[in-house]
Amino acid sequence: MALLTRAQIDAADDRTWEDIPVPEWKGEVRILGLSGTERDAYEASMVRMGSQGNVQSVNLLDSSARLLAKCLVDEDFQRLYTDKEVKALGLKNGAVIKVLYKHAQRLSGLGKKATEDAAGNSEPAQSGSSTSD
């Protein structure tokens, strides 16, 4: 397999999404997996850092709704909820939020299952030729 150029990487359409039926809401929602930058920002929002640069505490308040707010999109892939509207989303049925959260986690490469899947699906990197004897 040939090495990719930056232009090829930049042009790759690699964001994954799914339309998920939500009978409780009488319709479907579209969940778009986070980009790398969005994923890092979400993960960073989970921790509060101390003045010395160490983790002071973990912020789990509305963590499911925070992820969903970043992943729920319309048919044009525009977010349905802003970061300021997380509380409104968090007020919805907790069982529905949990199901949708799991889809968002998987599509975004978050959580233990995503890590295990990535590890199981990856092939070892092919090493180049050695210059030493």
| Domains of the chain as residue ranges with CATH | 17-112 (3.30.2220.20)
CA distance 103 to 29: 11
**DSSP β-bridge partners for residue 29:** 20
Record the pTM: 0.77
Confidence of residue 115 (pLDDT cuts 50, 70, 90): very low
Confidence of residue 120 (pLDDT cuts 50, 70, 90): low
CB-CB contact of 88 with 114 (8 Å): no
Say yes or no to pLDDT of 98 above 60: yes
